Amino acid sequence: MSVQYDVDAVVLDIEGTTSATGFVVDVLYPYSRKRFGALLTERADEPEVARAIGQVRDLIGEPDADAARIEQVLNGWLDEDRKATPLKTLQGIVWAEGFARGDLVSHFYDDVLPVLRTWHTAGIGLSVYSSGSVAAQRAWFASSPEGDLLPLVDGLYDTENAGPKQEAESYRRITAALGVPAGRTLFLSDRPGELDAARAAGWRAVGVRRPGEPYYEQGVGDHPAVATFDEITLSTRSTQ
Ligand SMILES: CSCCC(=O)C(=O)COP(=O)(O)O
Ligand SMILES: [Mg+2]
């Protein structure tokens, strides 16, 4: 289906939308799983690591959980692809180092980058809102197969700085940060619950349904749906 909007900002989900869930689960998850043990034992005093460990303990209700127990919980969340904030924080630390070292290069579907460049050139602001941490998002866009894409991106939002992706309030926070009216902001995601929350906050919302992605069969509810970014035509009044 083709859709057309007049908007000033586009906010992008990553997994299932710009990029393959299979890549995240098959490449990034094992990379973090192998490194959690050392992170939790050798770097537990680093503020970000300590904060995430505290959040895991709170979430599981075990204030004395040791490194081995925390690692077990993180690996269980990985198996479920659970988007728990401390898991994402710890993954973000490990992945950012992996991208910087050249061990990892991110993945984007073929249709995505040409369209993002077109929108950016047209003056449409591009931001990211993903369960992946801001550190992970920054590394993901900086280390793409086509090099550093961060110049295309205005803002990075995650479950820490914006809140849960299925709550309208999170989208209202992003609206305040972007300074773009809700009705002139378009959200692209594969998950119907996220699209519902964005729409409840007054945003335009389009579902991205890519064959083979986990949410393909379920669909995107009553939201307009596209299979690729080529099916989205945008105009803008923005002069940025
Ligand atoms: C660069 S973020 C890596 C992907 C990830 O961990 C994740 O949870 C993405 O979830 P999304 O909200 O983008 O579907
Ligand atoms: Mg997604």
Nearest atom in ligand 1 to the alpha carbon of residue 106 is 1
Nearest atom in ligand 1 to the alpha carbon of residue 19 is 13
Please tell me whether residue 144 adopts helix, strand or coil conformation. strand
16 Cβ below 6 A of ligand 1: yes
pTM above 0.80, yes or no: yes
Tell whether the model's pLDDT for residue 238 goes beyond 90: no
143 Cβ below 6 A of ligand 1: no
CA of 155 to the centre of ligand 2 (A): 17
83 Cβ below 6 A of ligand 1: yes
Ligand 1, atom 7: closest residue by C-alpha:
132
For residue 21, the Cα-to-chain-centroid distance in whole angstroms is 11
Q: CB of 169 within 8 A of CB of 163?
A: yes
C-alpha span between 188 and 17 (Å, rounded): 7
137 Cβ below 6 A of ligand 1: yes
- Say what the pLDDT of residue 171 is: 98
Tell whether the model's pLDDT for residue 239 goes beyond 70: no
As a whole-number percent, the residues of the chain with pLDDT over 90 amount to: 98
**What are the residue boundaries of the structural domains of the chain, listed by start?**
3-19+106-235, 24-101
- Give the mean pLDDT of the chain: 97
CA of 137 to the centre of ligand 2 (A): 13
The ipTM value here is: 0.97
136 Cβ below 6 A of ligand 1: yes
Q: CB of 226 within 8 A of CB of 199?
A: no
Tens digits of residue pLDDT in 136-185: 999 999 999 999 999 999 999 999 999 999 999 999 999 999 999 999 99
Ligand 1, atom 5: closest residue by C-alpha:
132
132 Cβ below 6 A of ligand 1: yes
Nearest atom in ligand 1 to the alpha carbon of residue 13 is 13
- Say what the pLDDT of residue 209 is: 98
- Say what the pLDDT of residue 123 is: 97
Tell whether the model's pLDDT for residue 205 goes beyond 90: yes
Q: Thinking of the domain 24-101, which architecture would CATH place it in?
A: Orthogonal Bundle (1.10)
For residue 204, the Cα-to-chain-centroid distance in whole angstroms is 18
As a whole-number percent, the residues of the chain with pLDDT over 70 amount to: 99
At residue 165, φ and ψ (nearest 5 deg) are: -75, -10
pLDDT band at 232 (very low <50, low <70, confident <90, very high): very high
Fold of 3-19+106-235: Rossmann fold (3.40.50)
- Say what the pLDDT of residue 141 is: 98
139 token code pair: 């590394």
Mean pLDDT of 174-202: 98
Tens digits of residue pLDDT in 87-100: 999 999 999 999 99
Tell whether the model's pLDDT for residue 1 goes beyond 90: no
Tens digits of residue pLDDT in 10-43: 999 999 999 999 999 999 999 999 999 999 999 9
Tell whether the model's pLDDT for residue 4 goes beyond 80: yes
Tell whether the model's pLDDT for residue 240 goes beyond 90: no
Ligand 1, atom 3: closest residue by C-alpha:
132
